[in-house]
Amino acid sequence: MPISRFGHAARTSLWPLPLLCVFAGALVALGTLSLDRRSGYTLVPQTVTGTPSDAQTVLSVFAAAMATLTSLVLTMTLVAVQLAMGQFSPRIVAALLTDRANQLAIGLFGATFVVAVLTLREVRGSDTGSVPGLSMLLAYLLMFTSIVTLVLFVHHAGQGLRAAGLIDLVGDRTRALIASGDPPDVDAPADPAVVPAREPGNVFRVDRPRLVSAARRADCVLELVPVVGDFVSGGAPLFRVHPAPGRTAGAARAGAGRVRPAEIAGLVLVADERVHTEDIAYGLRKLVDIAERSIAQPFNDPTTTLQALHRLHDLLRQLAPRPLPSGEHRDEDGVVRLVERTLSWDGYVRLAFDEIRLAGASSPQVTRRLSAALHDLKTVAPPDRQAPLDRQLRLLTAAVHRAYEDEEDITAALTPDTEGIGSGADVTTPVRLDGGAVVTGELAATLHRRA
């Protein structure tokens, strides 16, 4: 039992692996120093290592740099732990402390410091003395490795502090623990019409041309089950195999038999979180998160929400007149070989405005900016895309009526204003044409467009 407790402490503590690296570095340094002494310090000429004075200077800089770097890395680790505890969960601390990459980085820096100090002690004289050349080369090698490791450590620490990084850290370890246990009692028979995902993750890239070619060779139609950006579990359906147009069910089974699941699954790349590679919706998702978080307590920063709404408005304005992907991909003969679900115009509008409208109904800055965005989008959206915008305007009006009782407040909250409160018709001077007529609000915008 004491041995088991010691093993558990070693696996769940920060210090064992770095300490082992330091001891290993000391042993290697003592071994190279012994070889240098036996050879009379002639294994490596001073034309490579420099004079004793040069070696002393270099090793002193190495030792000081490694001491500072080790302190910095330990400080960054402590800050990462504190941030993770406060923002995510106190129970994430153990997973961070037992991260082998962090432990190896700390151990390498400590080992480099020890090697530099032990080698420095063996340097004799100033210009005509002796230099332990093999040990100097070891110090140079460890220093170069430490520089590379520092860059990798900063990258690893930055990636690890992401929400997806911490979630994956726990999820991957738990998944490995499940996989190390007993196998399932009953293996479900493999469905030849289904191509499973090889690993969990968010779909971020699909090689559509090669998928179309593979489906053409198998004379079938491939259906991509998840939408680009969706999370797919390992072993869950990634593709479904359907008969080509005009083919029978028997031909469909034959086509499914010709499909190579490993090849097909390899043409879809997954990552630990969504990226912008082919996922327009993810850009809107992040802007919505910023906007919604800014108006939530305790932040209460509607101006930041307006800045996010500016970009959401601009993105939807670019999408409004453009054709959206149909989700059908054909081969050179015009036969549909790959189908996938894609986000519709209604989906983009709901993604951009639903959550912000619900969270910001009581903020006049937000409702005025939403009203301005929706009215402007109606001027560029084709007739078949007007309905989602009209729906948003109806829901916005209803939300404002629930949030306010005074009619003047309601009218003010629904007045279009691109700056929340700052450029609406009710807070700016009227526009006068040459004839002296007063033009305000939407009429001015209509006349400007006609001109």
Q: What DSSP character marks residue 21?
A: H
| Long-range interactions of 305-309: CB distance < 8 A, separation 24+ | 305/356, 305/360, 305/363, 305/365, 305/366, 305/369, 306/365, 306/366, 306/369, 306/419, 306/420, 309/356, 309/366, 309/369, 309/370, 309/373
Q: Which of 144, 176, 208 is the last residue of a domain?
A: 176
This model's pTM is above 0.95 = no
Residues 160 and 216 in one domain: no
CA-to-CA separations, 360 to 89, 364, 409, in angstroms, rounded:
28, 8, 15
Strands (E), 36-168: none
162 and 273 Cβ atoms separated by less than 8 Å: yes
Q: Residue 338 is encoded by which pair of tokens?
A: 């790959």
251 and 193 Cβ atoms separated by less than 8 Å: no
Answer yes or no: is 436 within a domain.
yes
pLDDT-derived band of residue 444, with 50, 70 and 90 as boundaries?
very low
- Residue with the larger pLDDT of the pair 394 and 168: 394
329 and 210 Cβ atoms separated by less than 8 Å: no
pLDDT, average across residues 361-374: 95
Residues 266 and 291 in one domain: no
Residues 356 and 220 in one domain: no
Residues 61 and 171 in one domain: yes
- Residue with the larger pLDDT of the pair 7 and 269: 269
| Strands of the sheet with 268-271, listed across from one edge | 231-232, 201-206, 268-271
Assess whether pLDDT exceeds 90 at residue 171: no
Q: Which of 146, 176, 206 is the last residue of a domain?
A: 176
pLDDT-derived band of residue 449, with 50, 70 and 90 as boundaries?
very low
Among the residue ranges 16-30, 117-131, 132-146, 214-228, the one predicted with the least confidence is 117-131
pLDDT of amino acid 277: 80
Answer yes or no: is 332 within a domain.
no
Mean pLDDT, rounded, of the chain: 85
Residues 64 and 149 in one domain: yes
- Residue with the larger pLDDT of the pair 394 and 175: 394
Q: Which residue has the tokens 């153990």?
A: 94
pLDDT-derived band of residue 446, with 50, 70 and 90 as boundaries?
very low
As for how many domains the chain has, the answer is 3
Answer yes or no: is 330 within a domain.
no
Answer yes or no: is 331 within a domain.
no
Answer yes or no: is 181 within a domain.
no
Residues 56 and 16 in one domain: yes
pLDDT-derived band of residue 435, with 50, 70 and 90 as boundaries?
low
CATH value at residue 219: 3.90.1170.30
- Residue with the larger pLDDT of the pair 87 and 260: 260
Q: Residue 433 is encoded by which pair of tokens?
A: 């044409």
The proportion of the chain whose per-residue pLDDT surpasses 70, expressed as a percent, equals 87
Among the residue ranges 23-32, 169-178, 283-292, 397-406, the one predicted with the least confidence is 169-178
pLDDT of amino acid 73: 82
Q: 336-340 and 201-206: which strand pairing?
A: unpaired
pLDDT of amino acid 351: 96
pLDDT-derived band of residue 11, with 50, 70 and 90 as boundaries?
low
Residues 311 and 235 in one domain: no
Residues 304 and 418 in one domain: yes
Give the DSSP per-residue string, 324-381. PP-SEEE-TTS-EEEEE----HHHHHHHHHHHHHHHSTT-HHHHHHHHHHHHHHHHHS
Residues 37 and 109 in one domain: yes
Answer yes or no: is 149 within a domain.
yes
Residues 32 and 117 in one domain: yes
Residues 254 and 296 in one domain: no
Assess whether pLDDT exceeds 80 at residue 4: no
pLDDT, average across residues 297-310: 89
Q: Residue 15 is encoded by which pair of tokens?
A: 């210090």
Q: Could you list the residue range(s) of the whole structural domain that residue 50 is in?
A: 2-176
Residues 154 and 222 in one domain: no
- Residue with the larger pLDDT of the pair 191 and 224: 224
- Residue with the larger pLDDT of the pair 212 and 83: 212
Answer yes or no: is 161 within a domain.
yes
Encode pLDDT of 30-52 as tens digits.
999 999 999 888 888 888 888 88
Answer yes or no: is 286 within a domain.
yes
